[in-house]
Structure 1
Amino acid sequence: MPEVTNHFRQFNLKPAVIEALTKIGFTKPTKVQGRLIPDILKGKDVVGQSQTGSGKTHTFLVPIFNQLAVDDHETQVVITTPSRELAAQITKAARQFSDAMGNEKVTIAEYVGGTDKQRQVRQLEKHQAQIVIGTPGRIKDLVETGVLKVNTVKTMVVDEADMTLDMGFLQEVDYIAGAMPDDLQTLVFSATMPAKLKPFLKKYLDEPRFEEIPSETVIADTIDNWLISTKSKDKDQVIEQLLGILQPYLALIFANTKERAKELARTLRQEGYKVAEIHGDIAPRERRRVMKSIQNLDYQYVVATDLAARGIDIPGVSHVINDGIPNELEFFVHRVGRTGRNGMSGTAITLYRPEEEDAVARVENMGVHFKNKQIRNGEIQDVKDRHARHQRVATTNKLEPELVGMVKKKKKVVKPGYKRRIKNTIKRKRQMERRIEQRQTMRAERRQNKANHS
C-alpha cells in the first residue's frame, strides 16, 4: 500500500500541475489522494471508497490534467455524476484547475439534463471537448445520436457510484462505458459499496486497485453534534425556536421526503423566513437558479432532501438541522458533513421523537457521538443523561398528574392500603371522565336535533 505523501511533488507530476495545485491552495494530499493518485498515474483501474469531503474530485482531476494531451482535440476523458449540481461542481473545479495551469487550449464541456440539447449537438458537430462532464442520461443521449464521439476516450470516471445506482442511472453508465475502447481506464468513486454495484465493476474494471479510506472520525471535530428530543412538541415549532435562538449564518435543513421538505419550507415562509428548496420536484431551470442564489448568499435558510443535496458544496453552512433521523443511515454523515468544512466550525442538530430512540441508537452504533441538548426558557441547555430523563418521563406518564404528588409523598415505610387507595383514586377519576364525556356527547346530540328541527 503506497504511503500517504506529505506533498504533491512526490508524485512526480508536471511542473505546471504542481504550480496549479499551489495556486488553488493545495499542498498536502488527503489520504485518498495519497493512496490512489500513484496508481491512476500508472494507468490502473481504481475503486475509491471514502466519505464526502475526502478530496475525491482532485484524486482524479490531478492525474487527468497531468496526462492530458493538450494538442489532441478529441474527447479524452468522460466524467459521469448522478446530479446536475455535482456535475456543475466538478466542472467548476476542472475549469479552475485548467485556468491555474494556464491551459487555455483545454476544452471542458458540461452536459446535463434540463439544458439545451440542440445547442450542445451543434457545438459537438463543430468540435469535441477534451474533457466531458455530465449526468448519465444526457451523455448517453449524445453518444446514442452519434454526435459525442467516445471511441477516443482514455479515462472514464464514475463519481458517486452508489448514488448513481440509487437514482437508477447505472444502465445509462453501462451504455456509455460499452461504447468506449476496450483498453479504457476506469475510475470509480463512491461513499458506500452496495452489492448491486459489483457486477458493473467486474464488467468494466481490469484487476482494479480497491482502496477504502476509513474516516478518522465519523463526524469531524470541527462540528458540534447536538441531539434534541422534540418530546410532544411539533417539529416545525422546534425548528422555528432553534432558528430564532441560533440566528444561523446559513442553515441547511434536511427532510426525509420531498413532501416533508415542501411542507416545512411553506411553514417557515409563513413565519417570515426566506427559504430555498432543493428536492426532486424542483424543475431543472429553477434548481440552477436556486443554487446560484444560494451560492450568492441570497438565502439564509435552505430546506433539502438527501438525494437532491448530497455532494453539493454550499460554502458557509454554519448549521445543519436534521428534521429527523434519515431513512438511510449512511445519509446522516453526508448531512452533518455539510457544515464544519475547510477547518471552519459548525453545528449539526438532530431532532427526534421519543419513539425514535432506536433509530438514534443505530446512528450511535455507527460511531457517532451526540451532545444531548434541550430548549428551555429560550436557551439551548445541556441534558446530562437523556436515557434517565426518558425513563422518568415514561414512569411519570403512567400516573395522572394529580396522583404524582401522592407518589412523591409516599413514605419509605408503605402504610397498609396505600396502593389500593391510588388504584381506587384512578378508578374514580376515570369514571368521572367517562361521565363528563357522555354528558358532552348528549348535549351535542340535543343541539344537533334542535338545529335539524328549526
Structure 2
Amino acid sequence: MSFADLGLSDELLQAVEAAGYTEPTPIQAQAIPPVLMMKDLIGIAQTGTGKTASFVLPMIDVLAHGRRRALMPRSLILEPTRELAAQVAENFEKYGKNHDLRMALLIGGVQMGDQVKALQEGVDVLIATPGRLMDLFERGKILLTGCELLVIDEADRMLDMGFIPDIETICSKLPTNRQTLLFSATMPPVIKKLADRFLSNPKYIEVARPASTNTNIEQFKLQVSARKKREALRELLRTDNVSTAIIFCNRKTTVRELAKSLKRYDFKAGEIHGDMDQSSRIAELERFKSGAINILVASDVAARGLDVKGVSHVFNFDTPWHPDDYVHRIGRTGRGGATGRAFTLITPEDAEAIENVEKLTGGKIPVYRLASDGGEALDDTREEAPVSAKAAAPAKRRKRPARSETGKVEAARPVEAKKPVDARPTQAERPAPKAPRPEVREPERTGRGRTAHRETSDRYETAGGDQGWNGPVPEFLSVSAIA
C-alpha cells in the first residue's frame, strides 16, 4: 500500500515524497481514511509508529478549504509537553508546505505577546499545551467556538501529568458537532471514560498491544548497588558501541548531577529537564540533534515525543516509578525500523518497580553482566560526591533497629554485666543513671526539602529514623543487669 491509496491530495503526496516516505505505517494506513471521512477516532499505538503523521496528514487536506477568523482557530491539537508540541508543529511545516495553512504554537516558556498576535491574525491549526491554552482562554484572548477538529495526543501522558480536568473543561467549550481524534499508548479507565464522554461513535484502531515494547529494541537490566551506578553507566558508555544515547533519571537534581559527572569523565553530555526555560531546552536539543553532544541526560519531560534519528541506546539510570514510562523511555531508540539497545540499572530497592515493568511488557528482561564483574573495582577517584563527608559519614555508621519477623522493633539485647569499681558507689547505693541517647547528626538538606544523601544514593537512607538505641553501653557507666 502507498500513500496514494489512502486518498490524500496530490499536493500532500508531493510533500510526503519530498520528505522521503513511500509507504505508510500500520497506524497511518488505518487512521488516515476514517479521518478524511470526518469520523471520530481512537488510536492505540506504541511510540515510534508514525502516529503523529497519522493525524497531521489528513488534517492538512481536511483544512485545505475554509476561511480563517481572528481569535478562533479552526482546529486544535492538545499536547502534554512543549517538546512534543514543537515536534508536531515541525510536521505541519514539513507536510503542509504546498498548502496555504497558518499554524500557531501555544506553549509555556515563551513570550505570550507573539502568540496572541498570531491568534488575532487567524490560524487554521493551533497546537497547544493545556496550561497555556487555559491561561489565554481565561484572559479572553482566544475563542473556541469555531473549532471544527480536536486532537488529544498522548492521552495517557496527559493523565499522568494531571491535565485531564483541563481537557474536560476545554472539550466542554468546543462545539458539540466537531470531529475528535484521541491517541494514546495505553487505555486506562480514566481515558476510556474521557473517550466515552467526548467522542461520538469513534472508530477504534489498535496496532499493537497496549504498553508493548518495540521488538527492534534489545532490552537488558543491570543489577548494581546504588554506589556503583555511575561507574557501571560509564563502562556501558565506553564498551557497548554507543553512538548517541539518552539517559533517563527520575529526579531533576539527578539529571544535573549525572550530566556534570559525565562531563568530568570527558563524555560529550548535555541535559534537559523541567527546571530549564524553553529556549535552553530547545538549544540543548539542537546540540544533540546536530551531533555537538552525543549523550543527553533527561528527566521524563523528554520521554515522549522526542524524535531524534539514530539514537542507538537508551539508559534508565533510575528504574522508572511508573511502568508505562519505561515503554516510552526506551521508545526513543529503535524508531523507524532501526534497531536499538536499552539498559536499565536496578538496585535492590528497585525490585518491585522492575517487576511491575516486566508484568506490563509481558516478559522477563534479560540480565546483563559487565566485563568488569568479578574483577577489580572501577576507578572512581575522580568522582565528586554531591554531599559533604560530614553529612555522609554519620549515615554510614547508623544502624537500623533490630526487627522481628513481624516487622516490629525488638528491644535492645541485654549486655554482659560489668563488675562495679570499688571506689564507686554500688548499684544499691545510688540509682542507675540512664544511658544517654547517642547523638545523631541531622543530614544536610537540599533546597527542595530532601536530604542530600537521599538524592545521591538510597544506600544511606534510614527506614524509620530514631526508633531506639541498640548499641553497646558506654564503658564509663557501671550498669549491672542484675538488680
TM-score of Structure 1 vs Structure 2, range by shorter chain = 0.7 to 0.9
Corresponding position: 1:53 with 2:48: yes
> In the superposition, relative to structure 1, how do residues 359 and 172 fare at CA in structure 2: closer, same or farther (>3 Å)?
closer
- Contact kept in structure 2, 1:219 and 1:368, CA below 8 Å: no
What SS does the aligned partner of 1:48 have?
strand
CA distance in 2, matches of 1:247, 1:30: 29
More helix by share: 1
**What amino acid is the match of 1:241?**
E
> In the superposition, relative to structure 1, how do residues 216 and 310 fare at CA in structure 2: closer, same or farther (>3 Å)?
closer
> In the superposition, relative to structure 1, how do residues 120 and 360 fare at CA in structure 2: closer, same or farther (>3 Å)?
closer
- Contact kept in structure 2, 1:218 and 1:368, CA below 8 Å: no
- Contact kept in structure 2, 1:280 and 1:308, CA below 8 Å: no
The match for 2:174 among 180, 188, 203 is 180
Aligned partner of 1:208 in structure 2 is 202
5 Å-filtered alignment, 1:440-451, equals none
- Contact kept in structure 1, 2:263 and 2:269, CA below 8 Å: yes
- 1:70: Cα distance to partner? 4.2
> In the superposition, relative to structure 1, how do residues 147 and 294 fare at CA in structure 2: closer, same or farther (>3 Å)?
same
- Contact kept in structure 1, 2:104 and 2:115, CA below 8 Å: no
- 1:89: Cα distance to partner? 0.2
- Contact kept in structure 1, 2:45 and 2:210, CA below 8 Å: no
- 1:29: Cα distance to partner? 2.1
CA distance in 2, matches of 1:38, 1:71: 20
5 Å-filtered alignment, 1:325-336, equals 325-336=319-330
CA distance in 2, matches of 1:379, 1:61: 52
Number of residues of Structure 1 aligned to a counterpart in Structure 2: 377
What SS does the aligned partner of 1:157 have?
strand
> In the superposition, relative to structure 1, how do residues 357 and 181 fare at CA in structure 2: closer, same or farther (>3 Å)?
closer
- 1:320: Cα distance to partner? 1.0
Corresponding position: 1:258 with 2:221: no
The match for 1:89 among 84, 87, 90 is 87
CA distance in 1, matches of 2:249, 2:346: 12
- 1:138: Cα distance to partner? 1.6
Corresponding position: 1:223 with 2:217: yes
- 1:367: Cα distance to partner? 2.7
TM-score normalised by L of structure 2: 0.71
CA offsets 1:200-223 (integer angstroms, 9 cap, x no match)? 323321122222222599443433
- 1:83: Cα distance to partner? 0.4
What SS does the aligned partner of 2:159 have?
helix
The match for 2:118 among 102, 119, 123 is 123
Aligned partner of 1:313 in structure 2 is 307
The match for 2:12 among 17, 26, 35 is 17
Aligned partner of 2:396 in structure 1 is none
Corresponding position: 1:235 with 2:221: no
Aligned partner of 1:150 in structure 2 is 144
CA distance in 2, matches of 1:285, 1:25: 29
CA distance in 1, matches of 2:4, 2:209: 25
- 1:270: Cα distance to partner? 3.1
Bigger shift: 309-318 or 179-188?
309-318
Query: Which ranges of structure 2 fall in alignment gaps of 5 or more residues?
Result: 376-470, 477-483
The match for 2:267 among 254, 273, 282 is 273
Instruction: Give the percent of matched residue pairs that are identical in Structure 1 and Structure 2.
Output: 34
CA distance in 1, matches of 2:283, 2:346: 32
CA distance in 2, matches of 1:330, 1:377: 32
- Contact kept in structure 1, 2:87 and 2:305, CA below 8 Å: no
CA distance in 1, matches of 2:235, 2:207: 38
What SS does the aligned partner of 2:367 have?
strand
Aligned partner of 1:78 in structure 2 is 76
TM-score normalised by L of structure 1: 0.76
Query: Which ranges of structure 1 fall in alignment gaps of 5 or more residues?
Result: 1-5, 381-440, 447-454
- 1:357: Cα distance to partner? 4.5
- 1:71: Cα distance to partner? 5.2
CA offsets 1:381-439 (integer angstroms, 9 cap, x no match)? xxxxxxxxxxxxxxxxxxxxxxxxxxxxxxxxxxxxxxxxxxxxxxxxxxxxxxxxxxx
